[in-house]
A and B are shown apart, each in its own frame.
Chain A
Amino acid sequence: MTGRTAIASRGAARKERAERERGQFLFSRWHLILIPVAAVMLIPMVWMLVTSVQTLNETRHFPPDLLPHTVRLRNYTDVLRQAPFARWFVNTVIVTVVSVAGNLLFCSLAGYAFARIKFFGREIVFLAILATLMIPFQVVMIPTFIIVKDLGMINTLGALIVPNLAGAFGIFLLRQFFRTLPVELEEAARIDGASRLSVLFKIILPLSGPALATLAVITFLWTWNDFLWPLITISSANNMTLQLGLTTFQGTHQTSTNLLMAANVMSMLPVLLLFFLAQRYFIRGIATSGLKG
């Protein structure tokens, strides 16, 4: 870069930054709607956070206090002491990480086959897979349970992982993305001597970062927050995930709301962190799928 263009581009960058900063303080009409909506969305979060540092008695106050009188951080240590919270956390991480990895791998393979390889019955099979997206989980819950039981995996982490290693949504998402990549790239690679698998792993996947990230983020969220399936397959406290474990704070006669909320805050942290890091992939995933995010 010559000296003059360097200065010019630095000047342009400064101007652009100044404009952006000015823009931040501009109040647009949209803020009249966005601020109240954001506030409404935030109230449960704040309430949860406040409750998590209150005493049990304070939590029963009505109307609820949104400003804490005390800050009882002992709730958090109590959670860790009273329940195998760390164990649940590790279980959830294992289930989530393996499910995400499985989805990335198997949905890539299937998505690529549906996108590029011609085989008999391809369209029919693909439509059948798509159709499963329209069947609510509650319908297939019992059959899946029976299969998992026959595999001898009830009450193990395997029950949570194996049925979720690949999904119709992931196959669909990746197939759609792979189809947008220029076919010539693959043809060039095949002429260069790459096998189908080489083409997928060395050419297609490195170019599919956005789609893979979207799938990873969405699978993470689904798996992390899943409650119903762990509820019916896991019975021993040792194999519970966070979402299931949290319910143990809700007793039949008494609920330790403050401890429940402290546990909740901790279980939400990874999701919040992920959301901040990967916001645009959430939005893209929800936009492309039109499904729950």
Chain B
Amino acid sequence: MADVAFENVSKEFTGGTRAVDDLTLDIPDGEFLILVGPSGCGKTTALRLIAGLEKPTAGTIRIGADMVNGISPRDRDIAMVFQNYALYPHMTVWRNLAFGLKERRTPKREIDRRVGEISSILGLDELLKRRPAQLSGGQRQRVAMGRALVREPKAFLLDEPLSNLDAKLRVQMRAELKRLHQRLRITTVYVTHDQVEAMTLADRIVVMSGGKALQVGAPQEVYRRPDSLFVAGFIGSPAMNLLRGRADGSRVVAGDLAFSRPGGVPGGDVVVGIRPESLAPAADGRPSAELEVDLVEPLGEATLVHGTVAGTAVESGAEEEKEILTPRGARAQVTAIFAAADQPAPGDRVRVGVAPDRIYLFDLATGAAIW
């Protein structure tokens, strides 16, 4: 086990695509770190850089005390789980698990012991004689993890390992992965575009966009205090509602939502961000807006309410924030999560309010958060 570090690492592909752009990141020993971001943000390239499947064009990558830039994948002592599992189709599960140990000339008895141990941890004992084609998706996934863990690597790399599983299995395997990490405490770097996976699994998450790490922090911290409009829009499901607003020094107005901040707000164009879970039918003097409900999705305990409010919606994009005018003139699409008891009907007009301390403000021009 070891820590992993990126020091000003860039990776430019032939043709000029800069997949990773001056990335600096320290991953302490035993941490579960998740790289999350939309497709093309560089997260998989970052992972492949650790594995040695790509070579950085600038900067230094360290695993433990060693600088590994010029070291081939086989000598880095890391293990990786691929999105499509990449099990060796012509080998039985047992041989798939033992392959890495055999290649490293581990003594036969040691191989038997370790394969036996990992197969019982992952519940693969019954499957050892089968070939990958005879396994279900979940079983293959487990074998792929076993193959990586059996070598007791310095670091464990996972590239969207759950994305090929059906929804139920995904939730199950997610919990299993977390349990496994709590038990083995191997430094883990995990790539996903699914922010629920990122929130639930990670010790820390790295939100990436355009090859850069936009924000690094514990999941709750990133959720509570997004640094930028992009992170705010990306983390959280359903996504944060973003409305264009105008600040005049003390008050902020966005459509018919108006509020003031105790510390004051620098004047100018801003984006007002409100998480769907912070919106509730307004009964008091909290800042509020009139929501015209157009779609209701009951989830059981809560209800997703979609509708429009007066104002202009903003969409957070990877590169620059662009304004999206909603089709119905100057109304913005928003989503709220109501308690089931408050379920409105489509066509209703509901006054929704939000606690002032749950409103986020961002600079429209730079996307930076204003606290």
Contact = CB atoms under 8 A, between A and B. Distances in A.
Interface of A: 182, 184-185, 187-195, 198, 202-203, 206-207
A191 B52 CA distance: 8
B53 A187 contact: yes
Interface stretch (B73-81, B109-117, B252-260, B309-317): B73-81
B103 A184 contact: no
A229 to B, nearest CB: 37
B343 interface: no
B104 A193 contact: yes
24 contacts: A182-B86, A184-B82, A184-B86, A185-B88, A187-B53, A187-B73, A187-B86, A188-B82, A189-B88, A189-B99, A190-B73, A190-B74, A191-B52, A191-B73, A191-B74, A191-B79, A191-B80, A192-B79, A192-B100, A192-B151, A193-B104, A194-B74, A194-B99, A206-B90
A206 B147 CA distance: 19
A254 B56 CA distance: 76
B215 interface: no
Interface in B42-85: 51-53, 72-74, 76, 78-80, 82-84
Contact of A193 (B82, B87, B100): B100
Interface of B: 51-53, 72-74, 76, 78-80, 82-84, 86-90, 99-100, 103-104, 147, 151
Contact of B80 (A182, A188, A202): A188
A193 B99 CA distance: 9
Given A184-B84, A184-B86, A207-B90, A191 B103 contact: no
Contacts of A182: 84, 86
A195 B88 CA distance: 16
Contacts of B104: 193
A190 B72 contact: yes
Contacts of A191: 51-53, 73-74, 76, 78-80, 100
Given A184-B82, A187-B82, A192 B99 contact: yes
Of listed A187, A191, A202, A207, residue having the most chain B CB within 10 A: A191
A32 B86 CA distance: 49
Interface of B is mostly: loop
Nearest to A187: B53
B86 A188 contact: yes
B4 to A, nearest CB: 15
Contacts of A203: 88
Contacts of B80: 187-188, 191
Nearest to B104: A193
B89 A207 contact: yes
Given A193-B100, A194-B99, 18 more contacts: A182-B84, A184-B86, A185-B86, A185-B88, A187-B53, A187-B80, A188-B87, A188-B88, A190-B73, A190-B74, A191-B53, A191-B73, A191-B76, A191-B78, A191-B79, A193-B74, A198-B103, A206-B90
Contacts of B90: 206-207
A190 B74 CA distance: 5
Contacts of A206: 90
B74 A195 contact: yes
A15 B338 CA distance: 59
The 6 closest A-B pairs by CB, nearest first: A192-B100, A184-B86, A193-B103, A188-B86, A193-B74, A206-B90
A89 B127 CA distance: 49
Nearest to A183: B86
Contacts of B76: 191
A257 B5 CA distance: 81
A139 B52 CA distance: 47
Contacts of B89: 185, 207
